[in-house]
Structure 1
Amino acid sequence: MSQARADKKEIFGWAMFDFANQAYTLLIITVVFGDLFTRVIVGDAETGYRLGNLLWSLSLAAGYLLVVLTAPFFGAVMDLTARRKLFLFASYLVTVVATALLYFVAPGYILLGMLLIVVSNYAYSIGESFIASFLPDLGPPEDLGKISGFGWALGYVGGLVATGLALLFLGEVSQENFDNVRWVGPFAAGFFLLAAIPTFIWLKERGTASHHRNSSIWQQGRQRLEGSLKHLRGYQDLSTFLVSALLAMSGIYIIIAFTFIYGAQVVQWDEKMRVLTFITVQVTATLGAVFFGWAEDRQGSQFTYQFTLLFWIAAVLLIWQTPNITLWINALGYEAERQDIFLVVAVAAGLCLGATQSASRAIVGKLTPLPRAAEFFGFWGLSHKLAAIIGLVGVGLMQALVGLQNAILLCAVFFALAFAVCLKVNLSRGQEKARNYSAD
C-alpha cells in the first residue's frame, strides 16, 4: 500500500526546517564566523592564518566525526521509540544555544570558540539526518522528488534572507568592527529558533514504538544498530547508492568550502563581485532545486541525479580553466575579466547545487522501508559527514601539492566516480525491496 500524501501545511512545516537551519550553514560555517574565527579570534596574520585555518578545519571535522559515530545509533533508537520529533527538537535546541553562545568568543578565546563550533555543528548536522527521516512519511515515492526539492529550495531562500539581513546590519568582518560582527552567533541562533517553529507545530510523528520493556532502550538501540549494519547489506541498491552519495557529496563539500577562497586566490575577484556571486548562486540554486524537483517526478530521481553529476563535471572543468578561457576571449578581441567568466560558470553550477542533494535525499527515501526510515537516513547522514571529511582533507592535501587551481579537479574525479557507482543502482528493484520489508 502506497504512502498517502501529507497535507500542504505539514509539508510546509517540514520544509521550514530547511529554511531555518540555513542561517547556521551560511552565517556560521561559510560566510561570517569562519572568517571571524581565523582572522580575528585566532588572528595569526604573520603565518598567513595557517593556524586559524587548521583549527577551524579540525573543529568542523570533529563535529562531523561525532555525527558519523552517533547518527545511525540515534536513528535506530528513534525508530524503536517512535520519537523522531523529540530527537529533532533536542538537536534544534542544542544548535540554538551553542550558536548564541558564540557571542562570548572574543579574540584569543580559541578553545571556547572551537568547543562551541564542535557542539553546534554536531547538533546542526545530526539534525539534518533527523529531519530527512520524515521525508518518506510525507507522500508516495513518486512525489518525494518534488517534496524534497521544495524543501531544498526553501532552504536557499532562508539562507539568502538570513545572510542578507546579517550583512546589512552586522557589517564587515574585521577587528575594528568586532563589537558588531560578534552578534552573528545570536542572530543566526534567533533566526533558526523562530523560523523552525512551524516544523514543530505542523510536522506529525508517525510510527509505533516497538521496544521491549524488559531491557534498556539504549541496549536495544545498540543491538538493532548492529543488526542493521547486516540488514543494510540486504538492501543492495540502497547500500550501493549510499556509496555514490558519499562520493558526490565529497565533491560538493569542496565546492561549498572553497568557492569563495578560489574566487579570491585564483580568480582574484573584487568585493562587489563576491557579493554578487553569493546572491546569484543562492537564487539559481533555489530555482534549480525547484526545477529539478519537478523534473525528478517526470524523468525519475536517478536520471536527475546522474544528469546533475555530469553537469557538475563540466562546470568544474570550466572553473579550472577560467583563467585560460579569459585569455582566449581577450585574444579574440573581446574584453573579459576572470571574475566575469567565473560568475557565469558559478551561476550555472548553482542550478545543480541543491538539485544533486535533493535528488539524493529523494532516492534514499524511495529505497528506504518506512519502519527503518530514521535508521537508514542515519546512514545517509553518515555518508554526508564522511564525505565532508574525505573531501576537505583530500583537497587540502592536493592544494599543498599542486596548487588550488589544479586541486579543484579533485571535485570532477569525485563526481565521475559517483556517476559510475550510481549506474549499478536499480531503482525499481530497490523500491520493490523497500515495499516488501519484513522485520525478520
Structure 2
Amino acid sequence: MQRASKREIFGWAMFDFANQAYTLLIITVVFGDLFTRVIVGDAHQDYRLGNLLWSVALAVSYLAVVIAGPVCGAIMDFSAARKRFLFASYVLTIVTTSMLYFVAPGYIWLGMWLIILSNFGYAIGESFIASFLPDLGPPEALGWISGFGWALGYIGGLVSTAFALLFLGEVSLENFDNVRWVGPFAAGFFMVAAIPTFLWLRERGRPRRLARGSGYVVLGMRRVAATVRAVRAYRDLAWLLVSVFFAMAGIYIIIAFTFIYGSQVVRWDEGTRVTMFVVVQLTAAAGALGFGFLQDRIGAKFTYAMSLSLWLLAVLLIYATPAMAGWFGVEPQQVFLVVGSVAGVCLGSVQSAGRALVGQFAPHLKAAEFFGFWGLSSKLAAIVGLLGIGLLQAWVGLHTAILFCLLLFALALAATGPINEARGRNAAHARRNRSPSTGTAV
C-alpha cells in the first residue's frame, strides 16, 4: 500500500491539532480546576466532592462512547460514512463546549451535563478520526504518521492554551467573569482548526446497500457480534486491547487530575501552572515524534512496552514530589516541573504507539470497527480509572490515591507479554479482504 499524499496526512493530523484545545482547556488545565474549586467549591472538604463529581461526569460520557463506539464503527465500515460521523461528533463537541460559558458557581448539574455531552462528542470523534489511519500508509509507516498526529496535537494544545491562559487569567472566583470564556474559546479553536480535515481527508471504501427490512443499528450490532465471535483469530489485537485498557485507565486519570493535583496537593502558583503546561506540551510532542521514529525501527510493541515502563517511574515521582522537595530543600512545585517532563514524554509515546499497533493489527475492510473496539477499550478504561480515583481520593485523599495509577500501568505492561507483532500483522493481512457482511454491494 502506498503512503497517502502529504496534504491528506496533514489534513488528518490537523484534527489532532484541533481537538487538543478541548482536551487541555476543558479537561486538563482550566475547566476541570474551575469545576472542582469554583463551580462546586467545597474547599472545607479538600475538594473531595468536586473531584468525585468531576470523575462521575467524565465516566458517564465515556460509558456512552463504550455503548455507541463499536456499533458506529460497524455502520461506518458498511456505509463508507466515516467523514459524516466524524463531522457529527465535531458539531456536537463545538456546540456543547461553547455552552459551558453559562455554567456559573453552584450550577453543578448544568456543568456535569455539558461535560458529559461535550466529552462524548470529543471522545467518540477520537475513534472516528483514528479509523482513517490504516488508509494513510503501509504498516511500517504508521508509527511515524501516528506520532506526527500526536505531536501536531500537542502543538495545537500549546497554541490554544497559551492564548487562553494569556487572555483568561487564573482560575479563581474573583476572575470568574474572564475564565468562564474558556468554553467558547476552546469551541472556536476546534471549529476553525479542524477545517483542513474535512477538506483534504478522503473517504475510502465502497458503500453497500442494506438488505430489505434491515436497519443500520441492527446491522451494526450484528457486525460487532460477528467480530466478537471471531476475536480468537486476532489474539494479538485482543491482548493489545487488554493492555490499552489498563494503560488508558492510568492516562485518563493523569489527564483529568494533573492540574487538579497541582492545585490541591502541590499547591503551585499561577506562574508554575503555566510553566507546567508548556513543559508537558513540549515534552509530549517530543515523545510522540521521537518514539514514533523509534517505533518504525525497533518495533511498535517494544516501543509501547518501553513507554509503559517510563510511566511506572513517572507515577512514583508524582507521588514522591512532596517528599523529594524536603530532601532537596526546594519547593514542591519546582520538583513537580521536573516530574512533569517525564510524564509528558510518556503521555505522547504510549498513545501514539498504541494507536499505531491497532492500525497494524486491524484488517483493512474492518478498520473503523476495530478502532471502535480500541475506543471501547480506552473508554471502559476511563470509566474504571476515573471512578476508581474519584472514590479512592474521597477515602484517602488525592495524594495517596494517585498510586492507583502505578498498579494500572504495571498491569498494562504485563499484558504486552503475549503480543507477537509479526503474527498480529500477518493475521490482519490474511483477512484484509474478509469481513462479516449484511446486505449487498452497491
Using the size of structure 1 for normalisation, the TM-score is 0.94
Structure 1 contact 211–220 (Cα < 8 Å) conserved: no
Shift of 1:186: 1.1
Distance 1:128 1:343, change over 3 A: same
Q: Does 1:310 align with 2:306?
A: no
Q: Does 1:288 align with 2:312?
A: no
Distance 1:43 1:58, change over 3 A: same
- Alpha-carbon displacement from aligned partner over 1:80-136 (angstroms, at most 9, x marks no partner): 101101100010011111111222223343332222211111011000000000000
Give me the whole-angstrom Cα distance separating, in 1, the residues matched to 2:52 and 2:400: 21
Give SS of 1:68's match. Answer: helix
Aligned AA (2:387): V
Give me the whole-angstrom Cα distance separating, in 2, the residues matched to 1:102 and 1:319: 30
Residue from 430, 435, 439 that aligns with 1:439: 435
Aligned AA (1:371): L
> 62-71 or 44-53, which moves further after superposition?
44-53
Structure 1 contact 103–182 (Cα < 8 Å) conserved: yes
Instruction: Name 2:186's counterpart in structure 1.
Output: 188
Give SS of 1:321's match. Answer: helix
Q: Following superposition of structure 1 onto structure 2, how do residues 239-278 of structure 1 map, counting pairs within 5 Å?
A: 239-278=238-277
Q: Does 1:77 align with 2:75?
A: yes
Instruction: Name 2:342's counterpart in structure 1.
Output: 348
Give me the whole-angstrom Cα distance separating, in 2, the residues matched to 1:396 and 1:109: 20
Give SS of 1:29's match. Answer: helix
Shift of 1:420: 1.1
Instruction: Name 2:229's counterpart in structure 1.
Output: 230
Instruction: Name 1:333's counterpart in structure 2.
Output: none
Structure 2 contact 319–403 (Cα < 8 Å) conserved: yes
Give me the whole-angstrom Cα distance separating, in 1, the residues matched to 2:392 and 2:203: 45
Give me the whole-angstrom Cα distance separating, in 2, the residues matched to 1:6 and 1:277: 36
Shift of 1:78: 0.4
Shift of 1:50: 4.0
Instruction: Name 1:216's counterpart in structure 2.
Output: 215
Aligned AA (1:439): S
Shift of 1:401: 4.5
Structure 1 contact 242–380 (Cα < 8 Å) conserved: yes
Residue from 138, 150, 160 that aligns with 2:148: 150
Shift of 1:47: 4.4
Using the size of structure 2 for normalisation, the TM-score is 0.93
Give me the whole-angstrom Cα distance separating, in 2, the residues matched to 1:341 and 1:101: 37
Give SS of 1:4's match. Answer: coil
Q: Following superposition of structure 1 onto structure 2, how do residues 325-336 of structure 1 map, counting pairs within 5 Å?
A: 325-330=324-329, 336=330
Give me the whole-angstrom Cα distance separating, in 2, the residues matched to 1:55 and 1:411: 19
Give me the whole-angstrom Cα distance separating, in 2, the residues matched to 1:199 and 1:56: 31
Aligned AA (1:249): M
Give me the whole-angstrom Cα distance separating, in 2, the residues matched to 1:33 and 1:320: 24
Q: Does 1:324 align with 2:323?
A: yes
Q: Does 1:384 align with 2:378?
A: yes
Give me the whole-angstrom Cα distance separating, in 2, the residues matched to 1:172 and 1:329: 29
Give me the whole-angstrom Cα distance separating, in 1, the residues matched to 2:217 and 2:257: 39
Structure 2 contact 52–391 (Cα < 8 Å) conserved: no
Distance 1:320 1:56, change over 3 A: closer
Give SS of 1:422's match. Answer: coil
Give me the whole-angstrom Cα distance separating, in 2, the residues matched to 1:105 and 1:261: 19
Give me the whole-angstrom Cα distance separating, in 2, the residues matched to 1:84 and 1:280: 35
Which ranges in structure 2 are unaligned for 5 or more consecutive residues? 437-442
Shift of 1:46: 4.8
Give me the whole-angstrom Cα distance separating, in 1, the residues matched to 2:417 and 2:6: 34
Instruction: Name 1:67's counterpart in structure 2.
Output: 65
Instruction: Name 2:424's counterpart in structure 1.
Output: 430
Give me the whole-angstrom Cα distance separating, in 2, the residues matched to 1:243 and 1:325: 34
Instruction: Name 2:359's counterpart in structure 1.
Output: 365
Instruction: Name 1:411's counterpart in structure 2.
Output: 405
Give me the whole-angstrom Cα distance separating, in 2, the residues matched to 1:41 and 1:403: 20
Give me the whole-angstrom Cα distance separating, in 1, the residues matched to 2:173 and 2:324: 38
Aligned-residue Cα RMSD (Å) equals 1.8
Structure 1 contact 152–358 (Cα < 8 Å) conserved: yes
Which ranges in structure 1 are unaligned for 5 or more consecutive residues? 331-335
Shift of 1:211: 4.1
Distance 1:340 1:52, change over 3 A: closer
Structure 1 contact 64–389 (Cα < 8 Å) conserved: yes
Give SS of 2:208's match. Answer: coil
Distance 1:321 1:54, change over 3 A: closer
Distance 1:264 1:426, change over 3 A: same
Distance 1:39 1:396, change over 3 A: closer
Distance 1:57 1:416, change over 3 A: closer
Distance 1:52 1:173, change over 3 A: same
Aligned AA (1:112): L
Distance 1:44 1:276, change over 3 A: same
Instruction: Name 2:368's counterpart in structure 1.
Output: 374
Distance 1:323 1:99, change over 3 A: closer
Give me the whole-angstrom Cα distance separating, in 2, the residues matched to 1:102 and 1:262: 23
State, as a whole percentage, how many aligned pairs show the same letter. Answer: 64
Give me the whole-angstrom Cα distance separating, in 1, the residues matched to 2:350 and 2:396: 28
